[in-house]
Every structure is written in C-alpha cells, then in structure tokens.
Amino acid sequence: MQVRQAAVVIAIVAALFAAQLPLIAQTAHAQTGLQVSNHVFTSRVIRSADDTFFVQDVLVGFERGTASCQTLTQVVLPRGNHRIALALVDPRGNELSRVTFPTIQARSDNWTQSLEGTWRNIRFDQSGVHAMVVYLENRAVARFHLVVE
C-alpha cells in the first residue's frame, strides 16, 4: 500500500484538524464527559522510557487494499472507571476492525489518557470516506474521517 506523504499536505491537514478539534472536543464533552484532545494515524507509535509518545510518520490517506497502521488518540476523562474502544468503519457503516482497551481508572477529573491502537491487515475494499469511531461505554462519542482512494 502506498501512503501519500508530503510536507505541504501534512501541514494543511494538521491545520484543518487543529481548527476542527475544539468543536469535536466540545461536542463529545457535552454529550458524554469525554473530550478528545488529539488523534493521529501513523506508521508507528514510539513510546520512550519516560512514557512519552512519538509518531514516526503521519498518514494522511490510504489506498484500496490491505493496510496496517497505528493510531494515537489522547482523551480527557472525568474521575471514574471508563471503557473505551476504537473502531474503523467503512463508508457503508460496516465495522472493519475494533480495538478495545482495558478499563481506564481516571483518578481525578480532567484525567489525560493516551490510547495506542494497532491495526493489522485491515481490508479497505471500498474507496471513499471511512471513519475512526471512539466509543465510551459502548456509545459513539467522537468520529474522525479518513479517505481511501
């Protein structure tokens, strides 16, 4: 699978994403108490010794076929226990794959949690706008779009 990577495209996508992020986070917070503070598709997530994260390459698009990638999603949660899952969904709404995380225990309000998703051998059979859906307690609370050509 070929991945389109160009500095200009990445800068434009990052700027557009940053502009949309406050709206996404406010909507999610108003409905569920969960806020998404950051999300990225990448070829590889790297965790350093001090538990900080780095991404190797930002993926800005996919082509039809089989793909593997990682995602790094940061959420802000209220105090309590939370069950979170991420799912890749095709343009027709069919779930292609799901990553479910162990229960997160937020020890205080505004608890920041990084969610590292690994996606292997995902079949992108259709072109079009796909989605990454964030689920909290089995309810969809946020959605990020990705284009498959």
CATH code for the domain in which residue 12 is found: 2.60.40.1930
* Residues 6 or more apart whose Cβ sits within 8 Å of residue 102: none
Give the number of domains in the chain: 1
Q: Is residue 91 in a domain?
A: yes
Residue 110 included in any domain: yes
For 98, counting Cβ atoms within 10 Å of its Cβ (0-12 exposed, 13-18 middle, 19+ buried), the class is middle
**Owning domain of residue 92:** 7-148
For position 39, what pLDDT does the model report?
87
Residue 23 inside a domain? The answer is: yes
Residue 2 located in a structural domain: no
For residue 24, is it within any domain? Answer: yes
CB 142 within 8 A of CB 36: yes
What is the average pLDDT across 132-148?
94
pLDDT, the chain, mean: 81
pLDDT of residue 38: 86
Residue 79 DSSP class? S
Indicate the pTM of the whole model: 0.73
Model pLDDT for residues 4-57, shown as the tens digit of each residue: 443 333 434 444 445 454 444 443 433 347 889 888 888 888 788 887 877 778
Question: How many angstroms separate the CA atoms of 55 and 57, rounded?
Answer: 6
Indicate whether 1 belongs to any domain.
no
Question: How confident is residue 92, by pLDDT bands cut at 50, 70 and 90?
Answer: very high
> Does 140 have pLDDT greater than 70?
yes
Residue 131 lies in a domain: yes
Q: Give burial (CB, 10 Å; 0-12/13-18/19+) of 111.
A: middle
Q: Taking Cα atoms as reference points, which of 146, 131, 27 lies closest to residue 89?
A: 131
Q: Is residue 98 part of a domain?
A: yes
Lowest mean pLDDT among 42-51, 60-69, 80-89, 94-103: 42-51
